[in-house]
Structure 1
Amino acid sequence: MPRTLTALRSPAPFSTAKSMIWLFQFLTLVFCLGPGNTVSQTSSTPLIVNGVVGESVTLTLKSPMEEKIMSITWLHDGKSIIFIEPNEALNRVTDPKRKNRLKVTKSYSLQLSNLTMADTGPYSAQITTLTSSLFTSYDLRIFRRLRNLQVVPHTKWSKNRTCEIHLTCSVENPNDNILFRWQVSGNTLQSEANLTISWDPKSFDEETYTCVAENPVSNSSFSVSVQSLCKSVTNEKNEHLDTMWIVVAVPSICIVVVIIVSLFVCRKKIGFLSSYLLSLLQGSRDLAFGTSTRLCLVEDR
């Protein structure tokens, strides 16, 4: 009777295959941490960091002190920008566009200089030890410092003799997450750029309103005096009235002067004409008297 031989699988090849799979996964992780490759990040809550355009910012790294660090990879939007090997004292910038703007501190924190709006976004640092990989996430937000804060007033007098003022607060970069608020005597009236108020000149109160503009990296303020604004409108109104008076009065005076001169000239002409007529009458009378006299003399003869 023939014997059936059963082939037994040696445990050694199984162990070797398992080791190869583990080694392949490890090497894949190492290569993924290399320059220019995308690495998946953990879902930990990122640390929000604010930066200023043209200035520098530091992403602070807290490394595990209990384990020896093999490598650190800093990433932006999931792509490697600098690779660090502490044992080899090697810092290799993997993003050529930032070569002159990246610096690693002694604690392996990342410093970015001459910031631009393109630097905004998620950052992460992956610390690799012999036994684990640790992710630290950041959310870098970049803003411009506030400049040229201005308050534009629109002032007019109402029918009930109160001064109505509409104030508009503005800055040079209105889209940089700016918050506006209006304050008077240290108290906040409202949190917006526009403010409408009325002022009664009978109260004799001089109130100063302050516009405060702020974003996460800077703040600025501008104050206006209500009394000064209303006085300027009053002066403008008076100047307008003076101008209107001049516009109306000067032509009227000219017309009156012309009429007077015309009357005077006419009177002189009438007087001259009257004198002329009188002289004519006188001459006619004398002529008639002389003629009648001569006729009488002739008859007498």
Structure 2
Amino acid sequence: MLFSRWKLCLLLLMISSQVYSARHVISAVGDSVSLKNSEPYTELSEVSWFYNETQKILRWTREEETTIFETNMKPRISFDVNNITIHIKHVQKEDSSIYKLQTFSFDASQEHSEHIRLDVYERLTKPKITASPRFDDNGTCLVNLTCSVEQIRENASYSWMSKGQGVYVSTRGPILTFIWKPGDHDLNYTCTAKNPVSNNSSSVLAKELCAGKTSRMTRELLVIILPSIFSLLFALNWTQ
């Protein structure tokens, strides 16, 4: 029983070390990518490439040359035996995986395997900024800004930058909160969404976000004040 547990621990350690030592390749959806052998080229008798470490997608032997197996990747795969490189065209999100290369030397005395981790990302569209302004009786505008991209499956990172009248502030995260009061200098708030293959930005002005409310407050004040002014003018004219 103890020996079996020891073998299990050893197997798990071997698997984790393979994943940890896998080379990392990053690509964007629609691009082409090449996964290469990192070892010096030697005379080989057999080469196999695996998707997800276990599903064989390609096999080359000196006698049979190249066989590409039936998968959704088959139409997009080619193989260069000169440098043991597999080429994948028009990569998709589903192509993200750990790929395994296995080779055998010409005399079959030496076996070599290595792992390559491929991560495929979508290029981010222009982020959308959603504003939620609130106002107090003094006209102070409290705004919550939320930044998001259409690619909800993408693990995008967000950062904010505000500039204007000598002010420069930057912060991280999809949500930004700020306060603006009538008479304050206007600031430009820019959200940048980023992932390993792209970045994109959108901007808003603080004054534009709060202008609707301040205009309404001005109209409300005029509605209250103008009748009083007319009444005062009428009273002055009457006394004359």
User: TM range, normalised to the smaller chain?
Assistant: 0.7 to 0.9
1:95 equivalent in alignment to 2:70: yes
Question: In the aligned structure 2, how far is the partner of 1:154 from the partner of 1:69?
Answer: 64
Q: CA contact under 8 A between 2:126 and 2:202: conserved in structure 1?
A: no
1:84 equivalent in alignment to 2:60: yes
Question: What is the letter of the counterpart of residue 144 of structure 2?
Answer: H
1:116 equivalent in alignment to 2:92: yes
Larger displacement relative to structure 2 (153-162 or 74-83): 153-162
- Give deviations 1:103-162, integer Å, cap 9, x for gaps: 123422111123233322210111211331111201222222212411011223323432
Q: How does 1:1-301 map to 2 (within 5 A)?
A: 43-44=17-18, 45-65=21-41, 67-77=42-52, 78-85=54-61, 87=62, 90-105=65-80, 106-129=82-105, 130=107, 131-185=109-163, 189-203=170-184, 205-238=185-218, 241=220, 245=223
Q: CA contact under 8 A between 1:82 and 1:95: conserved in structure 2?
A: no
Identity %: 24
The Cα RMSD (Å) is 2.9
More helix by percentage? 1
Aligned length: 203
Q: Cα–Cα, structure 1 residues 94 and 210, in superposed 2: closer, same or farther, change >3 Å?
A: same
Tell me the secondary structure at the aligned position of residue 100 of structure 1. Answer: helix
Tell me the secondary structure at the aligned position of residue 194 of structure 2. Answer: strand
Q: Which residue of 1 aligns with 2:8?
A: none
Q: CA contact under 8 A between 1:41 and 1:135: conserved in structure 2?
A: no
Question: In the aligned structure 2, how far is the partner of 1:178 from the partner of 1:120?
Answer: 17
Q: CA contact under 8 A between 1:74 and 1:81: conserved in structure 2?
A: yes
Larger Rg: 1
Deviation at 1:169, TM superposition (A): 0.7
Question: In the aligned structure 2, how far is the partner of 1:201 from the partner of 1:104?
Answer: 65
Tell me the secondary structure at the aligned position of residue 201 of structure 1. Answer: coil
Deviation at 1:187, TM superposition (A): 5.8
More strand by percentage? 2
Deviation at 1:43, TM superposition (A): 3.9
Question: In the aligned structure 1, how far is the partner of 2:83 from the partner of 2:216?
Answer: 65
Q: Cα–Cα, structure 1 residues 219 and 187, in superposed 2: closer, same or farther, change >3 Å?
A: farther
Question: What is the letter of the counterpart of residue 202 of structure 1?
Answer: G
Question: In the aligned structure 2, how far is the partner of 1:173 from the partner of 1:218?
Answer: 12
Q: Cα–Cα, structure 1 residues 43 and 84, in superposed 2: closer, same or farther, change >3 Å?
A: farther
Question: What is the letter of the counterpart of residue 58 of structure 1?
Answer: S
Q: CA contact under 8 A between 1:146 and 1:219: conserved in structure 2?
A: yes
Which protein, 1 or 2, shows the higher relative CO under an 8 Å CA cutoff with sep ≥ 6? 2
Question: What is the letter of the counterpart of residue 84 of structure 1?
Answer: W
Question: In the aligned structure 2, how far is the partner of 1:134 from the partner of 1:126?
Answer: 6
Deviation at 1:192, TM superposition (A): 1.3
Runs of at least 5 residues in structure 2 that lack an aligned partner in the other structure = 1-13, 228-240
Runs of at least 5 residues in structure 1 that lack an aligned partner in the other structure = 1-39, 250-301
With normalisation by structure 1, the TM-score equals 0.59
Question: What is the letter of the counterpart of residue 229 of structure 1?
Answer: L
Question: What is the letter of the counterpart of residue 165 of structure 1?
Answer: V
Question: What is the letter of the counterpart of residue 47 of structure 1?
Answer: R
Question: What is the letter of the counterpart of residue 210 of structure 2?
Answer: C
- Give deviations 1:282-301, integer Å, cap 9, x for gaps: xxxxxxxxxxxxxxxxxxxx
